[in-house]
Amino acid sequence: MLESYRAGVAAIRQFAARCEDWEAVTPCTEWQAIDLAGHLRCVAENYLEYLQDAPDSRVAKLFAQDTATAVLIRQQSRQNAAELAVLPPESGRERIMSFTVSADAYIDLIPDSWDRTHLIYRGTKFTIGDHAGAACIEFHLHAWDMARSIGEEYRPEDPELLIGAWAWGVPHLPLGAVEPDPWIRVLRSSGRSQDWTKDKPVRARRRR
């Protein structure tokens, strides 16, 4: 899991380094590449905060409310938008640099925190290790987003691992129907379409 997480972070950095147009569209319908870079910075900073504050973090309190999945998605979407709105003016590469710092700090703390409680959702305890799975999924998905926004392709080395991580890392979002290709299943479960290209963007309902 930790190796896969690091591979996702490295892939984001590699694709970002090749990005020449930070106003390019991305599979995240409402975001250009510069917005995706900002979201990555915010997410990595949040994950580090959640780990340090566990089990009393902001996200733990949100999930403890036992609200409907649709409500959780809306609240997290509003948080994403609010955090992007207050970011300082930066280049895409500066945002990716900040993302990398927080993402690396997070993974450095994971081994000693693996079994600590991350949050409790509908009576089930999810650990810091479980959430590392969610972070792993998040960064591989956004590596795919970044790759597609520059006209390239991306596929993690072990997508089957992400299927296993989903059940405990993303408990409020069920996996979609079984697919022969586990990576396509992850993409579709996240609300993405594998047919999306920068020249022919396919509108999909993104869940992560």
DSSP annotation string for 5-20: HHHHHHHHHHHHHT--
pLDDT score of 208: 54
CA 45, CA 83: separation in Å to the nearest integer? 11
Question: 115 is written with which tokens?
Answer: 């079994």
CA 185, CA 202: separation in Å to the nearest integer? 17
Is 48:90 a contact under the CB 8 Å cutoff?
A: no
State the 10-residue block means of pLDDT for the chain, 208 residues long: 96 97 92 96 96 94 84 83 89 97 97 95 93 96 97 95 90 84 94 88 60
Is 114:133 a contact under the CB 8 Å cutoff?
A: no
pLDDT score of 206: 53
Contacts of 163 (CB under 8 A, 6+ apart): 175, 182, 185, 186
Q: Give the three-state DSSP class for 120.
A: strand
